[in-house]
Amino acid sequence: MHSFGFTVLAQQGAARRGELRTAHGVVQTPAFMAVGTRGAVKAVTHRDLRDLGAEIILGNTYHLYLKPGDAAIARLGGLHRFIGWDGPILTDSGGYQIFSLADRRRITDAGAEFRSHLDGSKHLLTPESAADIQSRLGADIAMVLDECTAFPATPDVAARSLERTARWAARARTRHLAIAAGETDVVPSTPGQAQFGIVQGGVHEALRRVSAEATVAIGFEGYAIGGLSVGEPVDVMYDIVGRTTPHLPEAQPRYLMGTGMPDDLVESVARGIDMFDCVLPTRNARNGQLLTREGPLNIRNARYADDDAPVDAACRCYTCRHFSRAYLRHLASTGEMLGATLGSMHNLCFYLDIMEAMRKAIEFGSFEEFRQNFHRTFSRQPLTR
Ligand SMILES: [Zn+2]
């Protein structure tokens, strides 16, 4: 059993190459976490995730709490055993999903009151109960309950939101430490769980700094930047990331939540981010958008009907080694489930390979070259050939 730890192995500029140690194994960083919302990465088996080189996955507390419930998962041996994934797992706090419920939730200092999207039942998620739930689930890394600031938000609204997030973070930390010390009736499914604090503050640099300092003062095993990728322009996001990481401890992991496109990952690593999660590779695959070194292609497009080439000739994945664009287009246009599986595997492979390429580049001191080359070839606009 490892206790939690993080080591920066190499650094180039602000970009870091590191190693994260958790109760369920080691994660090489910068790392991308595939999103397994309800205990499953959509359309992909855990065996395939392993083969692709995924080292850590993310589960969503909101969904798992509602169904099948954290108590049920704890009875079944914790989330790792329940879903058959023995590697590291990070769970979010459930906050982000609740804030997305808009008219079905009410936020007070006590916590977030909401109605389930499944059956309308009423629930209250507090900083303490979010810690309890994640402890029963047994995540290797748990997140504090935070209030995600919408974009755009005035400085006043963003300030109030980050103050509440800081108060909640202190309560979450107290509860987390009490659980770990055996002072509560919560039995952790994974001993040695780490807890990350979350920096908010919208797109206001001064508020980000205040939030970072308040969160670091509480003291967590790692720090996340939340409330970005919520509709702000990408250059604003890059700027805020670059102005927030200097206020986070050098020796601890930094996680940018819910981001993003491949070029966002490169630009955020360049600004000192170590961990990412995003639904884009799997969601886009289900919508027929597959990634290549030059940019995304829409596999449903008629131009691929006779295209015998793989999605990306340079890709090592099972999909690219065995199937043509024409076949994938056929699967997508007939709604065959295999299309979602093959597309998701390819897109996840693409993300994981970018992370590995960045790790190597930072080790070899060639990250800036990698970054420039990447932007020279990759375009966010869908390919037109
Ligand atoms: Zn591929």
CA distances from 155 to 102, 187, 208, 244, 282 (A): 21, 41, 11, 16, 34
Q: What is the pLDDT of residue 100?
A: 84
Share of the chain above pLDDT 70, in %: 99
pLDDT average, residue stretch 63-89: 98
pLDDT average, residue stretch 136-143: 98
CA distances from 349 to 149, 316, 359, 383 (A): 32, 8, 15, 19
Q: What is the pLDDT of residue 2?
A: 55
DSSP code for 342: H
Residue 101 CA to ligand 1 center (angstroms) comes to 35
Whole-angstrom distance, CA of residue 14 vs CA of residue 52: 27
Q: What is the pLDDT of residue 32?
A: 98
- Tens digit of pLDDT for each residue in 296-327? 999 999 999 999 999 999 999 999 999 999 99
Catalytic site positions: 92, 277
Whole-angstrom distance, CA of residue 108 vs CA of residue 185: 26
Residue 290 CA to ligand 1 center (angstroms) comes to 9
pLDDT average, residue stretch 74-102: 93
Residue 365 CA to ligand 1 center (angstroms) comes to 27
Q: What is the pLDDT of residue 357?
A: 98
Residue 295 CA to ligand 1 center (angstroms) comes to 13
Nearest to 39 by CA among 139, 171, 179: 139
- Tens digit of pLDDT for each residue in 326-348? 999 999 999 999 999 999 999 99
Q: What is the pLDDT of residue 67?
A: 96
Q: What is the pLDDT of residue 103?
A: 81
pLDDT average, residue stretch 58-64: 96
Residue 263 CA to ligand 1 center (angstroms) comes to 18
pLDDT at 1 over 60: no
- What 3-state DSSP class applies to 36? coil
pLDDT at 365 over 70: yes
Average pLDDT over the chain, rounded to an integer: 96
CA distances from 5 to 192, 221, 252, 344 (A): 10, 8, 8, 31
Residue 291 CA to ligand 1 center (angstroms) comes to 8
Residue 22 CA to ligand 1 center (angstroms) comes to 29
Whole-angstrom distance, CA of residue 275 vs CA of residue 29: 7
Look at 381 and 275; give whichever has higher pLDDT.
275
